[in-house]
Chains A and B, each alone.
Chain A
Amino acid sequence: MKMEPIIEVKGLTVRRGSAEAISNSTFSIERGDYVGVVGPNGGGKTTLVLAMLGLLPKAEGSIRIMGQEIESFDQWEKVGYVSQFAINFDSQFPLTVKELVGLGRVNRRNMGRFRNKEDWAAVNEALQLMSISNLADKRIGMLSGGQRQRAFVAKSLVSKPELLVLDEPVTGFDPVTQEKFFMQLANLNQKKGITILIVSHDLAAVFCRMSRVLCVNREVHSSAINEGTVPDDVLKRGYGEHFHFAFHQHQCKGVFIDEQL
């Protein structure tokens, strides 16, 4: 059965200054995919994500989101995004976790409207999904890195998105915190059917957990991941001819902690 693409990119070129950061790339992401975006530093991963979200202008090509051209797409509440700099906010900012997550409900359609019971119910549900209900009244500046990241994911979940985009969400995490975080995302992907796209340098996590990989180094190379197999040709095009990622499926079982959170 052919799956419906949630994002279709054709001949995309994005410039940063006079240089091409993304060059003539074509790929698609299907609904329900769990996608890892990998590639060397400076390869254009964040540029690609920002262009797909309409936050950077494209020089050439087309981007369709949920069947609509990005220029006319107006259902941004269906897209959740956590930038790689999200958790580096001013720690003195007077905001509780509940207030932060509540900001995720603000959009063009409800401007000037007071929050209602439905909004707060969605906030509470998002807090529960990320297992941070106990932190609801805590100031965000007091949270650890892992807690901050979960709070921001909860903020992006509160509008009940169909697509969730996370840019390097686990940088600086210890292995256990990282694994818990990835398991929560897998849960959202499998049980809620949310399409997830994560920029990450952790190739093992990508090949163990995810269904598709986009390898970005100016050009974007896409490949499905089947049963933890490594698409070597795709990685070589991203990281260079001499790159070899030694990976075995049993590593996935060895690394992951108890699934009970």
Chain B
Amino acid sequence: MSSFDVFDLPSLFQYQFLQMAMVGGILAAVVSAWIGLFLILRKESMLVDGVAHTAFGGVAIGLLIGIDPMLGAMAVSAAAVLGITYMRRKGLAQSDAAIAVMMAMGFSLGMIVISLANGFNVELFSYLFGSILTIDSTDLTVLIVLALVIIGFMVFFYKEMLAITFDEDGARLQGIPVQAMTMAFNLLVAVTIALSIKVIGIILVVALMVLPGLTALQLKRSFKITLIASTVFGVAAAVLGIVISVLFSVSTSGVIVFSAAGVFLFVAAYQRLA
């Protein structure tokens, strides 16, 4: 059942909630696509899923002590990324095992905090499944600031990150501070996850970060074009998801993921048939 008429689409954008949702969705899509493409090429896509689930603990803590849950998610995600990096570097666990450990710990933390707060609440549910349409000006301000930090880093250190992603030893020999850059990038992964949670939710954040890059890689073009295409696919999925979910009163995050997956299937099929 439709809550808005398709022909009312232009007038829909006069609503402030939709304007804020669009700005937030587009910014989250852009940074997710950029960070996600590098993660795919580093073969670390599952890091997103692990850290996102860990962020559940941060959201719960944020709600319990009365700070912005996004900041709580960011703090716990950053701790998880540092923990995973430490475990890998010290040989305590392989990458997948380290991610599994952190994911379990973060989610368990969330469950303990929920039980301490005496129950589950609607707001926590919204962080699990996303609620971009309920984003307020404070959320949007935090999201814009974080997105600008990530975009700034990726614009200025684009060539260094590409060099490290392609050949870490070669980059080290060229004098690039690989360890520091990798740490900074991993912290940005945590920030990206935290800001994307409001848009798409903990459960589905991996899709927003991985599907646009995966779709762009089907084009088999240069890195520059792949990065631009990844951004376009991510933004298209976010815009389509928001518009369709408003028109048909369905889950925004669900439609965003289905739009991104639909674009992926179309591009993959076209590339093989063309």
- Given contact pairs A55-B169, A106-B159, A99 touches B176 in the complex (Cβ within 8 A): no
- Given contact pairs A111-B160, A112-B156, A99 touches B223 in the complex (Cβ within 8 A): yes
Contact bitstring B221-234, A, C-beta under 8 A = 1, else 0: 11111100000000
Taking the complex as formed, is A260 at the interface, i.e. its CB lies under 8 A from any CB of chain B?
no
User: Which listed residue (A83, A106, A112) contacts B174, Cβ 8 A?
Assistant: A106
User: Which listed residue (A102, A109, A137) contacts B159, Cβ 8 A?
Assistant: A102
Taking the complex as formed, is B10 at the interface, i.e. its CB lies under 8 A from any CB of chain A?
no
B window 199-223: CB within 8 A of A: 216-217, 220-223
Interface pair A76/B174, CB less than 8 Å apart: yes
User: Which listed residue (A53, A95, A96) contacts B166, Cβ 8 A?
Assistant: A95
Residues of A within 8 A of B166 (CB): 89, 93, 95, 100, 103
Contact bitstring B171-202, A, C-beta under 8 A = 1, else 0: 11111110000000000000000000000000
Residue of A nearest to B224 (CB): A99
Taking the complex as formed, is B236 at the interface, i.e. its CB lies under 8 A from any CB of chain A?
no
Taking the complex as formed, is A121 at the interface, i.e. its CB lies under 8 A from any CB of chain B?
no
Chain A: minimal CB distance from B78 (Å)? 22
User: Which listed residue (A55, A74, A102) contacts B175, Cβ 8 A?
Assistant: A74
Interface pair B222/A106, CB less than 8 Å apart: no
Taking the complex as formed, is A139 at the interface, i.e. its CB lies under 8 A from any CB of chain B?
yes
Residues of A within 8 A of B160 (CB): 106, 111-112
Residues of B within 8 A of A99 (CB): 162, 222-224
Taking the complex as formed, is B41 at the interface, i.e. its CB lies under 8 A from any CB of chain A?
yes
Chain A: minimal CB distance from B196 (Å)? 23
A window 92-114: CB within 8 A of B: 92-96, 99-100, 102-104, 106-109, 111-112
Given contacts A93-B41, A94-B222, A104-B174, 5 further A-B contacts (CB under 8 A): A95-B166, A96-B222, A99-B222, A103-B159, A108-B176
Can you list 24 A-B pairs, Cβ within 8 angstroms, ordered by A?
A54-B173, A76-B173, A76-B175, A77-B174, A77-B175, A83-B170, A86-B167, A89-B166, A94-B217, A94-B220, A94-B223, A95-B223, A102-B159, A103-B166, A103-B170, A106-B171, A106-B174, A106-B176, A109-B175, A111-B160, A112-B157, A112-B160, A137-B222, A139-B222
Q: Measuring CB to CB, which residues of chain B are less than 8 angstroms from any residue of chain A? A: 41, 156-157, 159-160, 162-163, 166-167, 169-177, 216-217, 220-226
Q: Measuring CB to CB, which residues of chain A are less than 8 angstroms from any residue of chain B? A: 53-55, 74, 76-77, 79, 81, 83, 86, 89-90, 92-96, 99-100, 102-104, 106-109, 111-112, 115, 137, 139, 159
